[in-house]
Amino acid sequence: MSATCGLVDLFGRRVSYLRLSVTDRCDLRCVYCMSENMSFLPRKELLTIEELDRLASAFVARGVSKIRITGGEPLVRRGVMDLFAGLSRHLASGALKELTLTTNGTQLARRAADLARLGVRRVNVSLDTLDAERYRALTRRGALGPVMEGLQAALAAGLKVKLNAVALRGTTEDEIDDLIAFAHGHGMDLTLIETMPLGDTGEDRTAQYLPLTELRRRIETRWTLTDTVERSGGPARYVRVAETGGRIGFITPMTHTFCESCNRVRVSATGVLYTCLGQEDRIDLKPALRGSEADGRLHAAIDAGIRGKPRGHDFAIGRGGAPGLVRHMSALGG
Ligand code: SAM
Ligand code: SF4
């Protein structure tokens, strides 16, 4: 297969979007994402910044036009700004249309201006609550103040910000009106995500789970929602809120599927290509990356992975609220 061919899977879907995890580590331990005592990968198992650049660049050569850097928390990875700096050359050449990241925002205050300078235009910031005590409890350690400063810095740097909030029974139900007012008051979209049963968190998934159909009904008691056909290249369905003019996105992997139009693949920080967030299909790209300085083997391995991209996911909360997949969300970055 030529290294210049696009990436099209067996179901005719063109892969144009890469989510690249740069670390499995994080400064937080969100209750729906990680367990209190996580064991992280030995650092030597992670791809180096140079390897991450080479790998991402191979995908760009195959027609990937959007890259999202994620984690774990991407901004705690040492050297991550060098990766942004390196990949920005593909923005300059026009091969890459978008370079972006998903972050918990704790380090954003000191990174936002540089990210904007390197060509990042949009950033997703995960924030589930506006209450400092609740934030500490949900993240098991975080402080809300730095995240708020990070949001301010991002907006001041001209970045378009989207807030991601996971729908949690008890929490989101109380705060949804405040989250909408806060996000839209600052010109930010808000995306609500159903919790997915990934990895053991030491928490009961069934107790946390709040279906977005239910949350939407609640939102509609206060706000006027109009469905839109707008898409952001991701799985979110958007509605517009008449009172604010802002948008709310709904990501509903548990109650709907969006696999027919899936254009994305994920690579872990160790160089494993996962072709579906909800399945275990994967191929390790590291041997190809490390085994040869030329990219031929790497492209062949990527092709083999894309050929194995499954038709769709099969999420289910296991009996007793157990996770449906043993892998944590932080291994792949959502
Ligand atoms: N640390 C960064 C952050 O929090 O934005 C990036 C990685 S984090 C794994 C990416 C996204 O996954 C976050 O928006 C987080 O809320 C979401 N997430 C984590 N665990 C989840 C789960 N079990 N179900 C649904 N979303 C989850
Ligand atoms: Fe860290 Fe993001 Fe997972 Fe929270 S959701 S523990 S911030 S990786």
Q: What is the pLDDT of residues 171-182, one digit of tens each?
A: 899 999 999 999
Q: Is residue 216 part of a domain?
A: yes
Tally the domains of the chain. 1
Q: Is residue 11 part of a domain?
A: no
- Residue 320 has a pLDDT of 47
- Residue 260 has a pLDDT of 78
* Residue range(s) defining the domain that contains residue 119: 17-331
For ligand 1, the distance from its centroid to the CA atom of residue 324, given in whole angstroms, is: 16
Q: Are 274 and 34 in contact (CB under 8 A)?
A: no
pLDDT tens string 247-280: 999 998 665 566 777 888 999 999 999 988 777 7
Please report which confidence band the pLDDT of residue 317 belongs to, taking 50, 70 and 90 as the band edges: very low
Rounded Cα gap, residues 274 and 15, in angstroms: 12
Atom of ligand 2 nearest to the CA of 142: 7
Q: Is residue 4 part of a domain?
A: no
- Residue 299 has a pLDDT of 97
Please report which confidence band the pLDDT of residue 319 belongs to, taking 50, 70 and 90 as the band edges: very low
- Residue 318 has a pLDDT of 46
Q: Is residue 5 part of a domain?
A: no
Q: Is residue 32 part of a domain?
A: yes
For ligand 2, the distance from its centroid to the CA atom of residue 225, given in whole angstroms, is: 29
Q: How far is CA 33 from the centre of its chain?
A: 12
Q: Is residue 129 part of a domain?
A: yes
- Residue 235 has a pLDDT of 77
Q: What's the CATH code of the domain at 260?
A: 3.20.20.70
- Tell me the percentage of the chain whose pLDDT exceeds 90: 72
Residue 71 neighbours by CB under 8 Å, 6+ apart: 21, 22, 23, 24, 25, 26, 77, 269, 330, 333
Q: Is residue 308 part of a domain?
A: yes
**Ligand 1 residue neighbourhood (C-beta within 6 Å):** 26, 32-33, 70-71, 73, 102-104, 126, 164, 166, 193, 195-196, 198, 329-330, 333-334
Q: Give the residue whose CA is nearest to atom 2 of ligand 1.
A: 103
Atom of ligand 1 nearest to the CA of 197: 23
Q: Is residue 153 part of a domain?
A: yes
pLDDT tens string 84-124: 999 999 999 999 999 999 999 999 999 999 999 999 999 99
**Helices 80-93 + 49-61 axis angle, to 10:** 20
- Residue 176 has a pLDDT of 97
- Residue 263 has a pLDDT of 87
